[in-house]
Amino acid sequence: MYWSKSFIHTLKEASEEAESTSHRLMLRAGMIKMLISGVYSYLPLGLKVLDNINKIIRQEMNALGSQELLMPSIQPIELWQMTKRDELLGEVMIRFQDRRGRKLCLGPTHEEVVTDLASRYIQSYRDLPFVLYQIQTKFRDELRPRFGLVRACEFIMKDAYSFDKDTEGLDEIYDKMYKAYENIFKRCGLDFVSIKADPGVIGGDVSHEFLVPAENGEDVVYKCNICGNYLSGNDAEIDVCPHCKKDLTKINALEVGHIFKLGTKYSDVFGLRYLDESGKERPVIMGCYGIGISRLIPAIIEQNNDADGIIWPKEVAPYDILVLPVNVTDKDIFSAAKKVYEILEKKKMKVILDDRDERAGIKFKDADLLGIPLRITIGEKFLKEKKVEIKSRKSKEVKLFNLDKIEEAVKGL
């Protein structure tokens, strides 16, 4: 991709609406644009990051044998009335009536829908176990949307649902999901913690949430200064660690994932049952597993930035490499830049060439703001010594290489 042909519009300063570091940087880097409060468009750079996160999630979910589907956003309110969760969510649920008089809502989550769906197909123990998941937009009428994508009215979520014969089966998939979530968040370049949590309106008797320590996080966790144990903000009344009796440090955090052992909470309501080996009817045992995908983007930025901009972890970066000719009007410099670009493109690397006729200072500032892992600069060193400069955005380490060694140099870095 050539920068001049891409839809990238950077800003020197973010607007006053931006309350957090991640929100400011996403606006300045041209990743998102607000339509109304709590509702955002993903611009091409933001969508590239989102797609990379989705790719990681799909790889980890598919590795467990989970099967992807896509359920409707529009849901009949009757399903929610069956579990009485329409009352629990209250005004957070976006409700409306269509021209036929049907009472509907925009789905804030899908436990009711997926249970109703499964009840149409499960008959015997031979149909179990299985896991279904989707990546889909959810809707919640937040009273106070904040921090850009952190608390939005329209957001993207991965929600998975497991269906088992017994609690032993649920325990097994729950543990596998727990490990898959750890893999996902590590691959996204996150420092995270997991703690036992309150199941809340989702329900069930066991749940764990995954939290990312972040300055502007809306949740609170407490960390023991000695043993490193974490406690949930629900345990705020505890002043000292229950294990070593030492002081706790309060840490702000963002919730990015939550997993639940639902048991028969939804199966009982929807009559989701199966016949076991002896022909006896039993309830299906369920679990559910959510990741706030759109929230992962600001979480990653909150932990991966400096005074100059974003520092993308490799697997989620919109591009792997930025090729930056200092002066595009110099034929030798621009020709060398195009050659580097073409070599790396042929090797299936994600490369962007900054072909703008701008001052070098502006291009360097934009490069740091966008946070692409490697920057290859072609400038005076090339004219004098036939060397190109490769700089790591994260370590800021700079190395010089001959043009004909560029492929090996990039692979090494």
HSE value, Cβ hemisphere, 13 Å, CA-based, for 16? 0
Task: Give the whole-angstrom CA distance, residue 396 versus residue 311.
Answer: 11
348: which residues sit within 8 A by CB, 6+ positions away? none
3-state secondary structure 224-291: ECCCCCEEEHHHCCCCECCCCCCEEEEEEEEEEEEEEEEECHHHHHHCCEEECCCCCEEECEEEEEEE
What is residue 200's predicted lDDT score, i.e. its pLDDT?
77
Question: What Å distances lie between residue 7 and 10, 36, 359, 384, CA to CA?
Answer: 10, 21, 20, 34
Residues of the chain with pLDDT under 70: 233, 235-238
Q: What is the pTM of this model?
A: 0.94
Burial class of 336 by CB neighbour count within 10 A (0 to 12, 13 to 18, 19+): buried
The encoded tokens of residue 225 equal 């200064």
pLDDT in tens, 118-158: 999 999 999 999 999 999 999 999 988 989 999 999 999 99
Bridge-partner residues for 251, per DSSP? 221
What is residue 49's predicted lDDT score, i.e. its pLDDT?
98
36: which residues sit within 8 A by CB, 6+ positions away? none
Scan for tokens 């644009």, then name that residue: 33
Task: Give the whole-angstrom CA distance, residue 23 versus residue 13.
Answer: 12
Domains, the chain: 3-306 (3.30.930.10), 319-412 (3.40.50.800)
Which residue, among 63, 30, 66, has the nearest Cα to 49 in the 3D structure? 30
The encoded tokens of residue 389 equal 């400069």
Helix 293-303 and helix 44-63, axial crossing angle in degrees, nearest 10: 110
pLDDT in tens, 181-212: 999 999 999 999 999 888 877 877 889 999 99
The encoded tokens of residue 326 equal 């200092």
